[in-house]
Chains A and B, each alone.
Chain A
């Protein structure tokens, strides 16, 4: 008898709860679209929010409902877009991959400070206190707010104290762009490797006083780009990446070396035996002494001086010039 009572009590309460849960699971059944877990599987699951939805599960739901396009996941890229499109049975086009760049290279070596900052190591906090410790009011403060915002560990503070993006890891999600209080990070198409590493709005010699690599608005880069892809806006060049322009000449012509080229070794021009010695290539070459030769004789490119801008490829009437090692045609060389 003594064993029977607890047995009955535990047994009946257990059965009651089990029954109750069983009934509840039927009545409160929520239909979950079976495609949603499958979509979630192919997503990178970093919950970065670049798609505009609250996390990867939000995006998966929206795609299954047809509200979001399959190529909406930027970090997932083309592979992910096609996988989702296959799951849904539609065709998808991948968006052009982008990467973030920091428009500043004035670090400890180049830029002067007006004070020592000993506060909270956050760019927002430093901006609130008198707009930061650098004299330049637009430059990178190097306190790492963008580093903390990146879900892919693609941005870091380099040895010079400036934020730098790793092109291999960057997926173009745009979180760092939103996190920078000075708004000096932006997204450029991954295929372009040159950008202006300065955000300074001052002009003239006074910029040189506080930053050796600051843009003085000399407009030499604008003049060096006949395609018109660079325009001036409030003392700062603006690069139009939609134009067919590789910006190599502009980067070379800049006297303050404000441009950053992510390609460390560029392919150089090479003149083959088709050359008739007309000398047109020398007229468009931005580097004095890079191409030499007598009239009528085959010209020669100095591989050390050549910057690989490709201007000579288009002007050569006998198509004697190629970019050595790339096999690129002149039209493609414009965007190298």
Chain B
């Protein structure tokens, strides 16, 4: 029972309460760059979920079995970003060879994701402590966290793209056109997501 509670708590937390874009401010650059059309937003979202999943797993393994035992946790920044950059490059090459249609659809976003705060962010979060169990994240928990954070990112991206497509037809004052109105929209969305802050399905272990 505790396991399921843990899973639900991580998932809901990552998607709604601690949404990467709307609460944690991670992944903003592509958020405002790619959210103009719903189709490109979907492509970007799926690419991010995929990259976050594999990045979480690989970085967790390296952290647990190499960095911590040898007491060089300060190397996290360098090693993680190298691993992420290499992984994204590998994924891009594999896509180009085995699924050209998917590559055409997602290909241009993959280099953008390398320098995305969100991917490095989730890798660093997974080195910390799971607030629900009070223990450091296990492999499965960090993988789940990675996937769900990506889903939260995609959710915010899709919502934003839908709204921006409608904003195209409205009369906006000249100074606010483009980015400022997008920021205000994001702010209103963040305000509504703030409502999730008190969401608490299960009380954490230990009170």
Q: Is B201 located at the chain interface by the 8 A CB criterion? A: no
Complex partner residue of A5 from B70, B78, B82, B96, CB under 8 angstroms: B70
- B90, A30: Cβ atoms closer than 8 Å: no
Complex partner residue of A28 from B66, B78, B83, B94, CB under 8 angstroms: B94
Q: Which residues of A lie under 8 Å from residue B83 when comparing CB positions?
A: 13, 17
Question: From residue 1 to 28 of chain A, which have CB atoms closer than 8 A to chain B?
Answer: 5-6, 9-10, 13-14, 17, 20-21, 24-25, 28
Q: Output the nearest chain A residue to B66 by Cβ-Cβ distance.
A: A9
Alpha-carbon distance A6/B195, docked complex (angstroms):
45
Q: Which residues of A lie under 8 Å from residue B169 when comparing CB positions?
A: 120-122, 125
Q: Which residues of B lie under 8 Å from residue A17 when comparing CB positions?
A: 82-83, 86
Alpha-carbon distance A122/B79, docked complex (angstroms):
51
- A9, B90: Cβ atoms closer than 8 Å: no
Q: Is B89 located at the chain interface by the 8 A CB criterion? A: yes
Type the 1/0 row for B158-171, where 1 means its CB is closer than 8 Å to any CB of A.
00000000000101
Q: Which residues of A lie under 8 Å from residue B71 when comparing CB positions?
A: 5
User: In the complex, which of the residues A9, A10, A20 has the most CB atoms of chain B within 10 Å of its own CB atom?
Assistant: A9
Complex partner residue of A24 from B72, B78, B93, B171, CB under 8 angstroms: B93
Q: Which residues of B lie under 8 Å from residue A21 when comparing CB positions?
A: 86, 89-90
A contact residues, total (Cβ < 8 Å): 19
A67 to chain B, nearest CB (A): 16
* A13 and B70 in contact, given A20-B86, A30-B96 (Cβ under 8 angstroms): no
- A30, B72: Cβ atoms closer than 8 Å: no
B28 to chain A, nearest CB (A): 27
B contact residues, total (Cβ < 8 Å): 21
Complex partner residue of B79 from A5, A10, A29, A125, CB under 8 angstroms: A10
Q: Output the nearest chain A residue to B74 by Cβ-Cβ distance.
A: A6
Alpha-carbon distance A101/B6, docked complex (angstroms):
64
Q: Is B179 located at the chain interface by the 8 A CB criterion? A: no
Q: Is B174 located at the chain interface by the 8 A CB criterion? A: no
Question: From residue 190 to 204 of chain B, which have CB atoms closer than 8 A to chain A?
Answer: none
B178 to chain A, nearest CB (A): 16
B17 to chain A, nearest CB (A): 34
Alpha-carbon distance A153/B90, docked complex (angstroms):
40
Q: Which residues of B lie under 8 Å from residue A25 when comparing CB positions?
A: 93
- A13, B93: Cβ atoms closer than 8 Å: no
Q: Which residues of A lie under 8 Å from residue B78 when comparing CB positions?
A: 10
Q: Which residues of B lie under 8 Å from residue A122 when comparing CB positions?
A: 169
Alpha-carbon distance A77/B67, docked complex (angstroms):
61
* A5 and B62 in contact, given A21-B89, A120-B169 (Cβ under 8 angstroms): no
- A9, B89: Cβ atoms closer than 8 Å: no
Question: From residue 13 to 59 of chain B, which have CB atoms closer than 8 A to chain A?
Answer: none
Type the 1/0 row for B79-123, where 1 means its CB is closer than 8 Å to any CB of A.
100110010011001101100000010000000000000000000
User: In the complex, which of the residues A13, A21, A122 has the most CB atoms of chain B within 10 Å of its own CB atom?
Assistant: A13
Alpha-carbon distance A30/B97, docked complex (angstroms):
6
- B97, A28: Cβ atoms closer than 8 Å: yes
User: In the complex, which of the residues A28, A54, A122 has the most CB atoms of chain B within 10 Å of its own CB atom?
Assistant: A28
Q: Is B176 located at the chain interface by the 8 A CB criterion? A: no
Q: Which residues of B lie under 8 Å from residue A9 when comparing CB positions?
A: 66-67, 70, 72, 75, 79
Q: Which residues of B lie under 8 Å from residue A30 when comparing CB positions?
A: 96-97
- A20, B75: Cβ atoms closer than 8 Å: no
- A10, B93: Cβ atoms closer than 8 Å: no
- A28, B86: Cβ atoms closer than 8 Å: no
B126 to chain A, nearest CB (A): 18
Q: Which residues of B lie under 8 Å from residue A5 when comparing CB positions?
A: 70-72
Q: Which residues of A lie under 8 Å from residue B66 when comparing CB positions?
A: 9, 13
B101 to chain A, nearest CB (A): 10
- B72, A6: Cβ atoms closer than 8 Å: yes
Alpha-carbon distance A316/B85, docked complex (angstroms):
81
- B75, A10: Cβ atoms closer than 8 Å: yes
B92 to chain A, nearest CB (A): 10
Alpha-carbon distance A14/B82, docked complex (angstroms):
8
Q: Which residues of A lie under 8 Å from residue B94 when comparing CB positions?
A: 24, 28
- 20 residue pairs bridging A and B, Cβ less than 8 Å apart: A5-B71, A5-B72, A6-B75, A9-B66, A9-B67, A10-B79, A13-B66, A13-B79, A13-B82, A17-B82, A17-B86, A21-B86, A24-B90, A24-B94, A28-B93, A28-B96, A30-B96, A121-B171, A122-B169, A125-B169
- 15 new A-B contacts, CB < 8 A, other than A6-B72, A10-B78, A21-B90, are A9-B66, A9-B70, A10-B79, A13-B83, A17-B82, A20-B86, A20-B90, A24-B94, A28-B94, A28-B97, A30-B96, A30-B97, A54-B104, A121-B171, A122-B169
- The 8 A-B residue pairs whose C-beta atoms are closest, nearest first, are A17-B86, A28-B97, A28-B93, A120-B169, A6-B72, A30-B96, A30-B97, A5-B70
